[in-house]
Structure 1
């Protein structure tokens, strides 16, 4: 409910005048002559010009205090944006606020009611404002909030006596999600004002804004309610009226009312608690004032969660004045110990890395039963999905442990990149998410150096996003967005993974020390304020020129704009001249469909090594493709030695070679480092997928894995082979494909075996998990037998509910899925019961995914029907997980498509627009589609819902492009792959 969302009624003549001037009108008006109107217009225009001059010359431009300067910096930048006379005019192209007033402080008082028959909030907000340009209105954001209009007051603040300003009307714009107080006089530039609003809000169940969550006490069976916030990117406006854009930084003083048996949390430490006179048994929690921050980082929680004090060691802030605390449900609290152990260590490392102390007096990390994202970096109060923070060594897998460490490090990195310095607008979302992803891996490496996460980054992020960014329907890292739907759509792998990957590339071509000093300078200059990517480029260029790590004729902006402002990435083709020992190097955009021609070029840092003098440790480029299509490299070895470009895959691009060099690399494959083997496998299979390389070369290279037992090459290969697995699944070629992949897996399977071993490394555990998953999927006899046997023993043994008996944590995924795939309803029902009883978030996720492995259509259809039911036991946060696992099942794929088509409106209503749930579903249905009929069905689904795609618009474009490429692949490459599979099978007697 948006309060009064309609525009107030007007007379016909008033309406006509409004149409003429493109404005909306208030109720009150009077008639004037045309001459008088022209005279008034001339005077008004002159007054605007005079006001602009006064603002420009009178508003302060500097301050000795960085915190005080933030308002001035905000004002200076805001003047660059054209002023819209009436900000409450409805528009569908943009719902940005105008900037004639900016907030400097909020005082917020909320009384949330968290009970079965009343999920509402009674609230009051006092907003201190600075006027930058004359206007007769104050416009800010609201959504799902009802303003008590009679309460709205505007006061001009004076040192001697405050003056009241009359509010004459209230205007709402549903599309822009704004409310405007229309005033009886102009606000004066330079003046200080206070806006007071009393309002009613809703504690919703869409996991956005101020929302409700619940869990069951395992001892009493009682349902316990709690309320928490998720404001990023544009949902603070659901909790209180505010200027809900990242550039409107202000200080916040929060007061929360609660029942005495609950507790509350907010960004800052609690100042004091007092009884609430209005409601017996309730109390007010009053929190200290925050530092300047954006609305999307404000957070509060009211719950009965329990806490664990984290051990503080070697922090630059003394233990007496700083607290690091982890929160969870009482019966899940022991699972916080790992996060509590690594969190303070990562925080201290990041203080050292940035050379900037953490600016707040406390840090809370909270595991919530329901959460839309993995986590959210609210300043001083980070919130997590339970599976992203909780870890139980007896139940959780090694993958889960790594995920907890990665997410904790990512969110703590945000405390500097995103919180201390915030992007001006969401087009530079990557400026915080890309950095948090990249810097998070540095923190992760600090606490778990044996995991080789810097090498894993290549598999987890770089190669992962290269596939997505090969689509024409991808988008630039820095992408123009205006509407909230557009903003939500860019929370994707391009912003996170590609952003992190080009930052990693920049780190290598600048050098680690230059990179770190440049980041520190950037953060110091813009701390407690906002920045654009050009501000970062400036500081890095200054440092690079000072250090001599970048030639003076080059700037970071010139280089990086080619990576952040245009879509896609290049494939660098190396064509050797073996007679004069040189190579012709060219670049073109890499696209999944190779028949698309573009003229895009990039500044490409080129590193290379040779068989004669191999060096796999180089970081900085030996030469550049300086935004040109080609160059020539001299001095390469003769025709019996390979050359390899993009050493350690530090650059965000693929490399193709002439056939002779590919053959030389194939012959030396086992002598290359495992990271390089992973790079060659990923490049070759994707080059073949796009038609740029013959499949026989890519498959000959892949066949070299028959003697390989290392995690990184196998991870790259199995990920790339997913495409062949889905394209061939329903074709005659699939039998040969299965036999060949099983033959290639034989050595690594026998090396790892089914059971975990005491001396296994972290990478051994990860490798075993992926190898067993593929082996059982392809019906490896002993793998399937082991999985079914362990599951059956689990079913028949008398165990405590939390125990899995013969199934070790790292076997769970493969055992659960394989047993359910080969079992009946009894096997499925047993897993469902275990899901309902489990107290470990990660284990619940494994069970949900495994339940989608069934080959019984009726079970899968029933399972899908549960994802739109609040009473099914599947939390809203997990609905997309269920859908995707069914869609990735060759039996369930068509069922998933039909369900999406037949329940589109119900899904939109149930999941809302806040998160990527439905977008993930749309992406998943493209998996097995490779026929013209399936393409037409997907296009029809898009067309039938064209007016209500919302945040799935981009996902549909990408899914349709993928299916078109699949259809093209079947026409152009299927026979080539089938011939290779048949030839290999015959020659190896498979």
Structure 2
């Protein structure tokens, strides 16, 4: 069930529909009236391989089209009558193949739109050897973030249009005909004929820029290193650039003109992280410059992309606007920089051979970003986020529609759907577990060896495991395979804990935690288990074969998965859980969070009483760590959602929830204090949002009072609370308030604030106002990159309404969604429903519009709806009984 309804609605509004799912996802889907056939693999034959691309493009931004010329140096490895490469929405002319002898051949060109390929056919088979394929072509400038795309935005001087590229996973083929697969690496020369007044940015520095007449200039970039097509980048517009240098590398942040002053934090983070990674990886960053390009607008499914030397980031995730930015934004800027710069090695320098091993990019960058952020900003306590990230992965991993970390990918659609919590968060959690198992030093040495051995090449997961195992001198291959080649969440049950002679002997059984298959035969893992008695030393073992034991120094409460480095759930017996509950305040915050999350999940899954979480929450003191209160606020808000539609029972629950949360909020209050830590600042906004979502009349009234004072009143609307206050007012809006917010959105000239206001219009709980937001989303007014996010934001409170509306206007909505995202976008909108009828709607939509091989997002949405209905029916009565017992 949705946690933190108002807070989640605000987040959804600010980040677009990206909050519905992790990262980017699914690609082109069939729109035939009949159920589509299974799409064949889109992988190209390996008999021809490119080595270099010389590309020249001339964008026509006013016509949303571009002209291109490309010369591709290639090797024919075995005789073939055709050269097949990938291309989308292109037409070709003047195609010529030149052999080493200088002989020219003119091919016949045919396009297969379904398989996204172009075939250059010759009258006779080509002999093995080296050739250059040259062709002119035309392409399309898109309105969503795929291929070469445009973003229109407001400035004080009027409307501006900037062009950017986004190619991961399979959209370079919309910019240049190419072998658009990660294991076809090549070097690139890029030239762009651009308006003379605009700045052009790519992976490499500019080597030449000269006027060519008609208001144009020709910009030539240095040759890139050998890299995959999806990492190529071009940006073009009215930009400013801030620069500095680290270890001989020029580091820059590129922004829309006039915003470079907001880039100081991103520039400083990039410098710090780049220097750290040069040391950590043992291989110096190899390019002469590293830019981070900030763009207005948004996508439904990603915020940043790791193009080599030219990271692309939407400005809401990169720039600090003094009017609305919070400590959370500052943390996000650092974390995203740490993630994307990690990719410059893990993904760019060394690239997975195929999308099966995407997690080698994303899981590692997720882990590396968390490690680096915690190292340089210990005051933020972001290391506690490891529990939340693992929780998100386990929740996704505990339903039947999960998949292994290393997964079989055959089609563009499947590759796009691989960008999810399993790839990112489970991948990162498994790396954290294995680093704990072998030790930090051995892990780092293994990573360094992996980088040295595979630089500029492609790998599979076992290449990493082999390097780490050699460095550690400790076997990890079987453990790594167990956690990456099969899906699911291990469950470690503590069968007994016996104290004798100052030690506690634990007996374990290993099963499997699932949310939707209680009778499932459990898979088997070799599980690294760490345990610790309160005040004692940590000890570890590997539980294998379904059974295990461990002797722990000390007696009393014993925490299994001490330090929360393992990827498994822990189920304690009644006596052990009672001991942990009694000594809860003496545990580390990390272990408190782990125990609370396990208790929540096991209760919702029927392996404990659902009310056990309330026993823990009820006794947490008001001065507990902010991370604990954040977890409690989220969980209580989640429980509240299960009561939607039952006003009497919900009122009883809310009385209890407010009695728990109000003392914590009273301690920190509305107004910031000089000595507030970052976690306290974040908790303040969360508690305000959560209390408002629980219909705390005093909080809602205070938010309205502050909003009425106006955005220029810094005492009433400090930047740290501006979005929270506006979100509460928008969520509880009447027609007059909605009209006021609408007028503010239309008048606003700052894109970041303007975009957030249009999104805030979409979170109203009033159905009539939500309908107005849906209708507004289909007009040109909000901007092409905001509209799909508005529909997604409506779905936060009205999933059934949003889904029905989107489906009724599918042809219009499809144009507003990234072309690689439609197979996830619609299930993401409907997936928040608690109406059983939505299951049939989702299946009918999938049967009609999504290839059978690409329906994982749909099936996951259905599984989550079924799970919520089951919880409401079978778990919530235990909450009611607990409330009755405790005077609720």
TM-score, length-normalised on structure 1? 0.82
Q: Deviations over 1:275-314 (max 9, x none)?
A: 32xx5222211111111010000111121111122x33xx
Report deviation, 1:227. Answer: 1.4
Paired residues of 1:390 and 1:840 also in contact (CA < 8 A): no
Counterparts of 1:769 and 1:899 in 2: how far apart (Å)?
32
Counterparts of 2:568 and 2:828 in 1: how far apart (Å)?
24
Q: Which residue is 1:956 aligned to?
A: 858
Q: Which residue is 2:195 aligned to?
A: 259
2:226 maps to which of 292, 308, 313: 292
Q: Which residue is 1:162 aligned to?
A: 102
Counterparts of 1:596 and 1:908 in 2: how far apart (Å)?
40
Q: Which residue is 1:106 aligned to?
A: 53
Q: Which residue is 1:696 aligned to?
A: 611
1:942 maps to which of 836, 843, 856: 843
Counterparts of 2:442 and 2:697 in 1: how far apart (Å)?
54
1:927 maps to which of 832, 836, 848: 832
Which secondary structure state, in structure 2, belongs to the residue aligned with residue 939 of structure 1?
helix
Report deviation, 1:166. Answer: 4.3
Which secondary structure state, in structure 1, belongs to the residue aligned with residue 292 of structure 2?
strand
Paired residues of 2:172 and 2:180 also in contact (CA < 8 A): yes
Q: Deviations over 1:145-166 (max 9, x none)?
A: 1111xx1111111xxx422234
Task: Specify whether residues 386 and 965 from structure 1 end up closer, same or farther in structure 2 by C-alpha distance, changes over 3 A only.
Answer: same
The reply to whether residue 768 of structure 1 matches residue 684 of structure 2 is: yes
1:830 maps to which of 730, 735, 740: 740
Report deviation, 1:756. Answer: 1.1
Paired residues of 1:111 and 1:123 also in contact (CA < 8 A): yes
Q: Which residue is 1:885 aligned to?
A: 793
| Paired residues for 1:752-763 under 5 Å | 752-763=668-679
Q: Which residue is 1:504 aligned to?
A: 432
| Paired residues for 1:331-346 under 5 Å | 331-346=258-273
Report deviation, 1:199. Answer: 0.6
Paired residues of 1:675 and 1:713 also in contact (CA < 8 A): no
1:328 maps to which of 255, 277, 285: 255
Task: Specify whether residues 804 and 243 from structure 1 end up closer, same or farther in structure 2 by C-alpha distance, changes over 3 A only.
Answer: farther
Report deviation, 1:364. Answer: 1.3
Q: Which residue is 2:820 aligned to?
A: 914
The reply to whether residue 786 of structure 1 matches residue 702 of structure 2 is: yes
Q: Deviations over 1:855-880 (max 9, x none)?
A: 332211010123333x121442x445
Paired residues of 2:629 and 2:664 also in contact (CA < 8 A): no
Task: Specify whether residues 849 and 725 from structure 1 end up closer, same or farther in structure 2 by C-alpha distance, changes over 3 A only.
Answer: farther
Task: Specify whether residues 391 and 650 from structure 1 end up closer, same or farther in structure 2 by C-alpha distance, changes over 3 A only.
Answer: same
The reply to whether residue 625 of structure 1 matches residue 568 of structure 2 is: no
Counterparts of 2:615 and 2:865 in 1: how far apart (Å)?
27
Task: Specify whether residues 495 and 670 from structure 1 end up closer, same or farther in structure 2 by C-alpha distance, changes over 3 A only.
Answer: same
Q: Deviations over 1:197-217 (max 9, x none)?
A: 111111121221011122222
Which secondary structure state, in structure 1, belongs to the residue aligned with residue 855 of structure 2?
helix
Report deviation, 1:923. Answer: 3.0
Which secondary structure state, in structure 1, belongs to the residue aligned with residue 152 of structure 2?
strand
Counterparts of 2:763 and 2:841 in 1: how far apart (Å)?
28
Q: Which has the larger radius of gyration?
A: 1
Across the aligned residues of Structure 1 and Structure 2, the Cα RMSD in angstroms comes to 2.2
Paired residues of 1:866 and 1:874 also in contact (CA < 8 A): no
TM-score, length-normalised on structure 2? 0.91
Q: Deviations over 1:214-265 (max 9, x none)?
A: 22221x32x2222110011101110111000000000101111012122211
1:178 maps to which of 117, 125, 145: 117
Paired residues of 1:249 and 1:294 also in contact (CA < 8 A): yes
Paired residues of 1:396 and 1:843 also in contact (CA < 8 A): no
Counterparts of 1:598 and 1:909 in 2: how far apart (Å)?
44
Counterparts of 1:900 and 1:334 in 2: how far apart (Å)?
39
Which secondary structure state, in structure 1, belongs to the residue aligned with residue 509 of structure 2?
strand
Q: Deviations over 1:402-430 (max 9, x none)?
A: 11111111111111011000100111111
Counterparts of 1:911 and 1:425 in 2: how far apart (Å)?
26
The reply to whether residue 463 of structure 1 matches residue 391 of structure 2 is: yes
Q: Which residue is 1:192 aligned to?
A: 130
Paired residues of 2:154 and 2:160 also in contact (CA < 8 A): yes
Which secondary structure state, in structure 1, belongs to the residue aligned with residue 61 of structure 2?
strand
Task: Specify whether residues 825 and 936 from structure 1 end up closer, same or farther in structure 2 by C-alpha distance, changes over 3 A only.
Answer: closer
Which secondary structure state, in structure 2, belongs to the residue aligned with residue 695 of structure 1?
coil
The reply to whether residue 750 of structure 1 matches residue 666 of structure 2 is: yes
Counterparts of 1:506 and 1:488 in 2: how far apart (Å)?
27
Report deviation, 1:952. Answer: 7.0
Counterparts of 1:427 and 1:675 in 2: how far apart (Å)?
32
Larger deviation, residues 501-510 vs 415-424: 501-510
Structure 1 segments unaligned to the other structure (5+ residues): 1-89
Counterparts of 2:521 and 2:783 in 1: how far apart (Å)?
46
The reply to whether residue 538 of structure 1 matches residue 466 of structure 2 is: yes
Report deviation, 1:784. Answer: 2.1
Paired residues of 2:52 and 2:74 also in contact (CA < 8 A): yes
Report deviation, 1:779. Answer: 2.5
| Paired residues for 1:554-565 under 5 Å | 554=475, 556-565=476-485
Report deviation, 1:316. Answer: 2.5
Report deviation, 1:91. Answer: 8.4
Report deviation, 1:579. Answer: 7.5
Which secondary structure state, in structure 1, belongs to the residue aligned with residue 836 of structure 2?
helix
Structure 2 segments unaligned to the other structure (5+ residues): 1-36
The reply to whether residue 137 of structure 1 matches residue 82 of structure 2 is: yes
Paired residues of 1:502 and 1:563 also in contact (CA < 8 A): yes
| Paired residues for 1:581-660 under 5 Å | 582-611=505-534, 613-615=535-537, 618=538, 622-626=540-544, 628-634=545-551, 641-660=556-575
Paired residues of 1:113 and 1:120 also in contact (CA < 8 A): yes
Q: Which residue is 1:352 aligned to?
A: 279
Counterparts of 1:560 and 1:195 in 2: how far apart (Å)?
43
Report deviation, 1:396. Answer: 0.6
Counterparts of 1:629 and 1:439 in 2: how far apart (Å)?
32
Which secondary structure state, in structure 2, belongs to the residue aligned with residue 914 of structure 1?
coil
Which secondary structure state, in structure 2, belongs to the residue aligned with residue 224 of structure 1?
strand
Which secondary structure state, in structure 2, belongs to the residue aligned with residue 340 of structure 1?
helix
Which secondary structure state, in structure 2, belongs to the residue aligned with residue 911 of structure 1?
coil
Larger deviation, residues 680-689 vs 447-456: 447-456
Task: Specify whether residues 405 and 577 from structure 1 end up closer, same or farther in structure 2 by C-alpha distance, changes over 3 A only.
Answer: closer
How many residues are paired up?
Answer: 845
Paired residues of 2:240 and 2:255 also in contact (CA < 8 A): yes
With a CA cutoff of 8 Å and minimum separation of 6, indicate the structure with the bigger relative contact order.
2
Counterparts of 1:672 and 1:844 in 2: how far apart (Å)?
45
Which secondary structure state, in structure 1, belongs to the residue aligned with residue 611 of structure 2?
helix
Counterparts of 1:131 and 1:652 in 2: how far apart (Å)?
46
| Paired residues for 1:11-410 under 5 Å | 92-115=39-62, 118-148=63-93, 151-157=94-100, 161-167=101-107, 169-189=108-128, 191-218=129-156, 220-221=157-158, 223-276=159-212, 280-309=214-243, 311-312=244-245, 315-317=246-248, 322-372=249-299, 373-410=302-339
